[in-house]
Amino acid sequence: MNEGGNTVFLVDNHDRTTNKVTINSNTTQIYNFNNNVPTKEAYKLLKHARNNHACGPNPRYLQSSKCKLALKILPAIVYEKNWDVIVVDGPSGDSTESPGRMESIYTASVLARGGNGSDVIVHDVDRMVEKWFSWEFLCDENLLYSKGKLWHFRIRGHLNSTTFCPVTTG
């Protein structure tokens, strides 16, 4: 898969993942990162993002962002590359106390706007947090298709954009 390309796995449970993933080339890398913000903080983080200019969609400032949703401790390769595909399937987010996917979805949406754009796939959109954050940062008009618990978005590169989704008036 992805022959000749770079594949990076960012995992919150390194032991579980390395037992299942076989690395067949030197372009596949696995990095462990800790995300300890519980799912129950989702609404507070969403309010913060809506009211904070630092939470804009510009990928150039992601690592130094003052936005509470920005994952700033990822490996440098994540910020340096323009990604064709980003899959959000972690952290677990399966209870109010478990680490949620709020920052993962936000960061994927910002990274996707670099370069010429990216496809972003979000798993478990049957859950409210994944749905809220996907609508807020990946935007309904970018949704290509949904099947079961997966949503597939195509985000075009917009380095100078100041908003994630077009403002609609009702």
pLDDT at 1: 58
pLDDT tens for the 170 residues of the chain, in order: 567 777 888 887 655 545 444 555 567 888 887 888 999 999 999 999 999 999 999 888 899 999 999 999 899 989 999 888 999 999 999 999 999 999 999 999 999 998 788 999 999 999 999 999 999 999 999 999 999 999 999 998 776 778 899 876 55
Tokens of 28: 């596949």
What is the model's pTM?
0.89
- Name which of 84, 124, 130 is nearest 106 in CA terms: 130
Please tell me the predicted confidence (pLDDT) of residue 170.
56
Total Cβ atoms within 10 A of residue 69: 23
pLDDT at 138: 97
Q: Which residues of 74-105 are buried (b: 16+ CB within 10 A; e: fewer)?
A: beeebbeeebeebbbbbbebeeeeebbbbbbb
The total number of residues written for the chain in this structure: 170
